[in-house]
Amino acid sequence: MQLSSPRLRAALLAAASLTLVAAVLPPPAPLGIGDPLFPALGNPGYDVLAYDLSFTYKDNRTPLDAVTVIDARAERPLERINLDFTHGKVASVEVNGEPARFEGVGEDLVLTPARPVPRGGRLHIGVRHTSDPRGRGDGGWVPTEDGLAMANQADAAHRVFPCNDHPSDKALFTFRITAPAGLTAVANGVPGTFPAHRSGSATTWTYRTLHPMATELAQVSIGRSAVVHATGPHGLPLRDVVPAADRELLDPWLKKTPGHIAWMEERVGRYPFENYGVLIARATTGFELETQTLSLFERGIFTGEGYPEWYVESVMVHELAHQWFGDSVSPRSWSDLWLNEGHATWYEALYADGLGTYSLERRMREAYQRSDQWRAAGGPPAAPKPAAPGEKIGLFRPAVYDGAALILYALRQEVGAAVFDRIERRWVAEHKDGVAGTADFVRLASREAGRDLGPFLEPWLYGPTTPAMPGRPEWGTPKSV
């Protein structure tokens, strides 16, 4: 049958497509992009270009009111859009200006827009929701004595805001944080062009990133903070955020950052972002975190007993090194975590070596001796075993820290210091603001060395046991020591 009336045809086609949508769409289900370690993380079918996050903070016992606006591009036709989100209540969702249906399934928020989005179409998503700071110690908001900080690595950004929570989808961020008088809010990037907006007793602070960022690296600090401004190498703006009451006490540590940046720049090239600083929080996290442009530290490592100065400084350099390795160059999957932690540990160890306390040789030899045990327990550095259920931070094992720095040491032994230096510089230059994985590293290293390093590197990356260290016969084999 051929329909002759265009109006009738249009009406019939519309009815048919509605039936089709209803018949074809399966029940909402959580999706992921197939990360080997976090299969449910991230979502297929779109690329986020920008997040605009608004938070209104009252106190640590009250969920923040939040609006998350996401601009994205559909990579294929989408009748449904999955976001990662949990730990907050969703009040309403709009997609491209029209109300959309939404359902929480697992740790996904599944949206059904009023009309399907074509391939290449723009997606403008607005979600009104709450964001609950009452954590269960599994990441996201970190309560401090005077407010909140954020620690989203590896998979906790979606406990704070709806997002495509995978480092392979980087985007620009804008933050608008409203906090009661007396509190200061700071986020990644540079302050907005307008001064903090004051209305009644609350102030709204805005920040935006000038470089794309992974969701895991977002930082929002709210507290009784002092913001300390200084200037680093070649005029780089420095901005530290510390508890106001501790400003003088912490000042000697803050003064070390310019030297750390100059030291890193000598080795790998220009610092990759718009500004840098440390965020020192009155909290006990058990970790420090390389949130982009504003690394998070626990106050205790600067003021506690038992941390020698060389150690604290080398930890500061570790988080700073991540700004190049892990932040500017994001991992393609979480199995590439060794590229983040191996490099950060490498520069941490090299810095400590320069201070003359703990030599790189000694540290690498100790790692060599333990490497087989680490591989047996957690898998090889580039193919780590998933963390035990409920212990996601368990992914951060020695095999991806010193065990991975050991791979860089082996590479330097194999190709020589000059080629190794070139590999490091080219890596952060070519993948600046991008995403790269283990295969990319092997390819780049091979190119700089002028030969295929796959056969050399693969056993180091993926082997169940540790290969012999080139040029160090006296080290023996890990099993024999």
Applying CB under 5 A, the residues found at the interface with Zn ion are: 341, 344
- What is the DSSP annotation of 89-139? -EEEEEETTEE-EEEEETTEEEEE-SSPBPTT-EEEEEEEEEE-----SSS
Q: Are 58 and 78 in contact (CB under 8 A)?
A: no
Q: How far is CA 124 from CA 70, 92, 130, 139, in A?
A: 6, 14, 19, 27
Task: CB nearer to Zn ion: give 344 or 423.
Answer: 344
Task: CB nearer to Zn ion: give 46 or 271.
Answer: 271
Closest contact distance (angstroms) between CB of 309 and Zn ion is: 20
Return the amino acid letter for 412: R
Task: CB nearer to Zn ion: give 74 or 289.
Answer: 289
CA dihedral 317, 189, 241, 275 (to 10 degrees): 50
* Bridge partner residues of 295 (DSSP): 278
Closest contact distance (angstroms) between CB of 401 and Zn ion is: 7
Closest CB to Zn ion belongs to which residue? 344
Task: CB nearer to Zn ion: give 84 or 341.
Answer: 341
List of residues 6+ apart from 140 with CB closer than 8 A: 87, 150, 151, 152, 156, 157, 159, 160
Closest contact distance (angstroms) between CB of 345 and Zn ion is: 7
Q: What stretch of H or E contains 460?
A: helix 454-462
Task: CB nearer to Zn ion: give 107 or 341.
Answer: 341
Closest contact distance (angstroms) between CB of 134 and Zn ion is: 27
Task: CB nearer to Zn ion: give 109 or 367.
Answer: 367
Task: CB nearer to Zn ion: give 341 or 372.
Answer: 341
* CB neighbours of residue 329 within 10 Å: 28
Locate 217 and state its tokens: 């690296």
Closest contact distance (angstroms) between CB of 358 and Zn ion is: 17
Closest contact distance (angstroms) between CB of 251 and Zn ion is: 25
State the residue for tokens 């909290």: 283
List of residues 6+ apart from 54 with CB closer than 8 A: 66, 67, 68, 175, 176, 177, 178
Locate 312 and state its tokens: 């604290």
Closest contact distance (angstroms) between CB of 61 and Zn ion is: 31
Locate 401 and state its tokens: 């820290």
Closest contact distance (angstroms) between CB of 325 and Zn ion is: 9
Q: Is 169 helix (H, G, I), strand (E, B) or coil?
A: coil
Task: CB nearer to Zn ion: give 93 or 264.
Answer: 264
Closest contact distance (angstroms) between CB of 412 and Zn ion is: 20
Task: CB nearer to Zn ion: give 51 or 346.
Answer: 346
* Omega before 154 within 30 of 0, i.e. cis: yes
